[in-house]
Chains A and B, each alone.
Chain A
Amino acid sequence: MKLLAALLLAVAPLAPTAEPVVISNGHVDLGPKFVDNRWTVQLRDDTTDPATWRDLDTVVLQATSKAKVAVPEDPAYQFLGKPGQSVWVIPQVQQAGIVWPGWNTQDTEVATRVDREVTWSLEGVRGPGAFTLFLNSDFGKPQPVFDSRKPFPQQTGIDVNTHVHGNWTFDAQGTYLLDVAMTAKLTDGTSVSDRRTLRVYAGDGTPSTTPAETAVIPVAAEPEGQQVELWWFIVGAVVLVLGTTGIVLVRRRR
Chain B
Amino acid sequence: MRRAVAAALSLTLLAGCASTAASTDGKLNVVTTTEILADLVQQVGGDRVSATSLVPPGGDPHSYEPTPADAKRVAKADVTFTNHLLLEPQSLIKTIDANADKDAPNVSLAEAAESYGAHVIPLVENIGLDVLWLGLRVRGTGKQRGATRTSSVQLAATKLDGPGQLVAYLTESLGQPDRYFDSTDGLDKADSTTLPPAAHTHLNWAFTKPGVYHLTLQGSLDNNDGKLQPLGQGTFTFAVGVEPHSVKPASGGPATVLGDGHTDLTVDLDSGQVYAYSDAHKVGAAQSQVAAGNVVIDVPNKALVPIPEDPRFSFLGKPGTQIHQLPQAVLGKHVHGEIDPHLWEDVANAKAYAQLMRDTLISKDPDGKQAYEANTKAYLSKLDELDDYLRTTLATIPPDRRQLITTHDAFGYLASAYDMTVAGFVVPNPAQEPSVEQVRKLSDTIRNLHVPAVFTEPNLAQRASVLIQVARDQGVQVCSLYGDAFDDHARTYVDMMRHNADELKRCLGANR
Contact = CB atoms under 8 A, between A and B. Distances in A.
Interface stretch (B64-72, B323-331, B446-454): B323-331
Interface string B385-420: 000000000000000000000000000000000000
B337 A119 contact: yes
A77 B284 CA distance: 40
A16 interface: no
9 contacts: A69-B174, A93-B328, A112-B283, A137-B332, A138-B171, A139-B313, A157-B334, A164-B331, A165-B329
B196 A76 contact: no
Interface residues of B, number: 39
A63 to B, nearest CB: 12
Interface of A: 69, 71-72, 74, 76-77, 89, 91-94, 96, 108, 111-112, 115-117, 119, 135-143, 155-157, 159, 161-167, 189
Nearest to B326: A138
A88 B176 CA distance: 17
Interface string B163-194: 00000001111111100000000000000000
B122 interface: yes
A142 B332 contact: no
B312 A157 contact: no
A interface: dominant SS: mixed
Closest 3 A/B residue pairs (Cβ): A140-B175, A157-B336, A111-B283
Nearest to B206: A138
A94 B332 CA distance: 20
Contacts, number: 100
A74 B284 contact: no
Given A116-B120, A138-B325, A74 B334 contact: no
Nearest to A74: B175
B68 to A, nearest CB: 36
B331 A135 contact: yes
A92 B329 contact: yes
Nearest to B308: A139
Contacts of B310: 139-140
Given A93-B202, A115-B114, A143 B175 contact: no
A117 B174 CA distance: 29
A136 B313 contact: no
Contacts of B312: 140
A231 to B, nearest CB: 27
Contacts of A156: 336
A74 B115 CA distance: 49
Contacts of A162: 262
B122 A159 contact: yes
Nearest to A92: B173
B261 to A, nearest CB: 9
Interface in B310-350: 310, 312-313, 325, 327-329, 331-332, 334-337, 339
B291 to A, nearest CB: 24
Contacts of B2: 189
Contact of B174 (A77, A116, A157, A161): A77
A89 B305 contact: no
A143 B339 CA distance: 21
Contacts of A140: 171, 174-177, 310, 312-313
B34 interface: no
A93 B283 contact: no
B334 A159 contact: yes
Given A117-B122, A167-B173, A157 B283 contact: no
Nearest to B282: A161
Contacts of B170: 93
Interface in B255-295: 262, 279, 283-284
Contact of A112 (B200, B262, B284, B335): B284
Contact of B115 (A93, A94, A189): A189
Nearest to A187: B114
Given A111-B284, A136-B329, A137-B327, A91 B173 contact: yes
B334 A72 contact: no
